[in-house]
Homo-oligomer: A and B are copies of this chain.
Amino acid sequence: MNFDYSDEQKALKDQARRFLSDVSPLAVARKVLEAPSPGFDATLWTRIGEQGWCGAAIPEAYGGFEFGHVELCALAEELGRALAPVPFASSVYQFSEALLHAGSEAQKLNLLPGIASGERIGTLAFSEGPGVLSAGRISTRYSNGALTGTKLPVTDGGIAHHGIVLALGDAGPDLFLVDFSGNGVTRQAVSTIDPTRGAASITFQNTPAEPLGSAGKGSGSGLEQLRRIHDRTAILLAFEQVGGADRVLEMARDYALERYAFGRQIGSYQAIKHKLADIFVKNEVARANAYYGAWALASNAPELPVAAAAARVAASEAYWFACRENIQTHGGIGFTWEADCHLFYRRARHLGLVIGAQRDWKRRLADRLVRRVAQENAQRSEA
Mark A residues whose CB is within 8 Å of B. 269-271, 274
Contacts and interface: CB of A to CB of B under 8 A. Distances in A.
Contacts of A270: 269-271, 274
A269 B274 CA distance: 11
Contacts of A271: 270-271, 274
A149 to B, nearest CB: 33
A13 to B, nearest CB: 35
Nearest to A272: B270
Contacts of A269: 270
A256 to B, nearest CB: 13
A266 to B, nearest CB: 11
A269 B270 CA distance: 7
6 contacts: A269-B270, A270-B270, A270-B271, A270-B274, A271-B271, A271-B274
Report, nearest first, the 6 A-B pairs whose CB atoms are least far apart.
A270-B270, A270-B271, A269-B270, A271-B274, A270-B274, A271-B271
A270 B269 CA distance: 7
Contacts of A274: 270-271
A126 B330 CA distance: 54
A162 to B, nearest CB: 45
A99 to B, nearest CB: 44
Nearest to A271: B270
A274 B273 CA distance: 13
A315 to B, nearest CB: 27
A177 to B, nearest CB: 44
A274 B270 CA distance: 9
